[in-house]
Amino acid sequence: MLKRFSLVLEGELSHFLQIIKDLAESTRCIHRKNPNLYDIPRTLWIPTHHAHNRIVVFLYPQSVEVTQLHETLGIESEIDLTIRKLKDWAAPRPVEKNLLTMSDTVYVHPEPLGVVLIIGAWNYPWAVTVGPLIGAIAAGNAAVVKPSEVCVHTAKVMEDLLPIYIDKELYPVVTGGVPETQELLRQRFDHIFYTGNSMVGKLIMEAAAKNLTPVTLELGGKSPCYIDKNCDITIACRRTAWGKYTNCGQTCIAPDYILCEPSMQDRIIEEIKKALKEFYTDNPKTCADYGRIINQRHFKRIINMLDDCTIAAGGENDEANCYIAPTLLRDVKPEAKVMQEEIFGPLLPIITVSGVDEAIEFINKGEKPLALYVFSSDNKVIDRIRDETSSGGFVANDCLVHYSISSLPFGGVGNSGMGCYHGKYSFDQLSHLRGCLIKKLNMEGVNNVRYPPHTPKKPTPMKFMFLVFLTCSCEIFFKMEDIY
C-alpha cells in the first residue's frame, strides 16, 4: 500500500500526500479488519524493552540504568496499563439523561480520529515519541511517527525497531530534518501531537490551522521552584538538585530557577553542593550518571547565559565534549540573560524574594510554566501558591515525579502547551468522543408538542414535561413487570 519511507530520505517528498491519503483510508476500518487491536500496545513493549541497550551507546557517558529509568521503564508501565484498561476505555460510556430522554439510550462512543502525526523531541526521544504513539494506537488511529532530527542515532533505532513489531504501513516512521517536517505539515492530518519548544509549537499550530487540525502541544517554559523557610532545607535541596540536573538539565519540567528569601540563599547553595557531590562525585565529568548537552549549538546557547551572572558553584565546561558542570548561580536579577528563556541545561539561578507574596507575584509576571514546585511544611503556603498561580502541573515537596503517574494528566497551559496525555488521557486526547442518542420510534404523541404549529391548544411546557415524566415512568414500570 505504501512506498517505503526510505524514499523520503532520498528527497522524494511528493509521495507524502499519497501516503497520508492511504493511511486515512486504512484507519476507517482499522477496528473491523484488526480483531487483535487490543493486543497492539503489547507489541510495543518488545522494541521498548530492547531499545535501551541500543540507545545507551549514543548517550555516553550515561549508564544503561540511567537510560532505563529515564526512557523505557515509564513506557513499559504505560503499555502495561493500556493493555489492562483498553477495553474499558474503548467501551461506550453511559451518561446522565434528562427528563426528555429518560427512555432513550444515551452514551459517549469513543472512536478514532483518523491519522495522527507525532513529532517527537530530542531530550527523551523514546519516551516522548512512543508515549503518544501508544495512545494513538490504542484509540484506533493510524500514525506517522517523526522522531527529532537532533537525536540522529535514536531516530535510527526507532526506524529499525518499530517496523519489526508493529504494522509499518499503519505506523510508518519518517526520519529527516526540517524539509521533511515542513512537507509533513503541509498534509492534512486528523491530529498533530508535538513535543518541543514554544517557538516551534506556534509554527505547528499555524500549519495545523490551515486544515483546522486539532493539536496537542507539549511545550515547556521556566518552571519555578519556591523553597519556603518552613521546610527541611536539606531534603528540599536534594530533591531539587535531582530534578534539575537529571539528564544534564535537559528536561522540560526541570526546576528552571529557585525562589527563596535572602537569608536562605547561602544555606541552599551549600546543601545543593552536598547533593551534587553525593550524586555525581567531585568530578561529574567522569561520572556515568551525569550526561552531556545534546550538541554544540545548545552548548553555546547555555554558556552565553552566564555572561552577567555570579557563579556560586560549578561553571566548568568543555565545548569539544559538550560538557557543562552542574552550575549554581547566586543573586540573579530578573533581567539577567538566564531569566529570559527556558534554560534547558545545568544552570540553576537563585532569585531572592521577601516571601511567599513576592514569589507569587514574580511567578505570575511570567508565562504559565509547564510545572511549578514548592517546598514547604506549611500547607497554607502550598495551598496559596497552588491557588494563586497557574501551571501545567503542580508538585509540593518533590520534583518531576508527577510525570510518572499515569492517572494524572500531563500537559501545559498557555505558553507551555495545550492538551494532555498519559494513561486514559492519551486515549481520550486522540479519540473523538462522539455523543450518541438512540431513540425508539414510539411515543410520537408525546413528541407532537414540539412540532409546529404552536397554538394555545397544545400543552404548556409544564404539562408537556409532566406528560413525558408520566409516559417514561409507565414504560419503566412495564419493563420491570416484564423482568419479574
Cis peptide before 61 (omega within 30 of 0): yes
Cell (9 digits) for 399? 520534583
- Helix H or strand E encompassing 349: strand 347-352
CA 120/CA 176 separation, integer angstroms: 12
Ramachandran class of 311: left when φ > 0, alpha when ψ lies in -120 to 50, beta otherwise: beta
Q: Which helix (H) or strand (E) holds 374?
A: strand 371-375
DSSP per position, 378-436: -HHHHHHHHHT---SEEEES-SSGGGG-TTS-B---GGGEE--BSTHHHHHHTEEEEEE
Q: Return d(Cα 340, Cα 13) in angstroms, integer.
A: 37
Amino acid identity of residue 60, one-letter, is Y
Partner residues linked to 311 by β-bridges: 329
Q: In sequence order, what are the residues at sequence separation of 6 or more whose Cβ sits closer than 8 angstroms to the Cβ of residue 331?
A: 265, 310, 350, 352
Q: Catalogue the active-site residues.
A: 218, 252
How far does the chain reach from its first CA to its final CA, in angstroms?
A: 56
- Yes or no: say if 211 and 188 are a contact pair by the CB < 8 Å rule: yes
**One-character DSSP codes across 101-136:** GTTSEEEEEEEE-SEEEEE--SSSTTHHHHHHHHHH
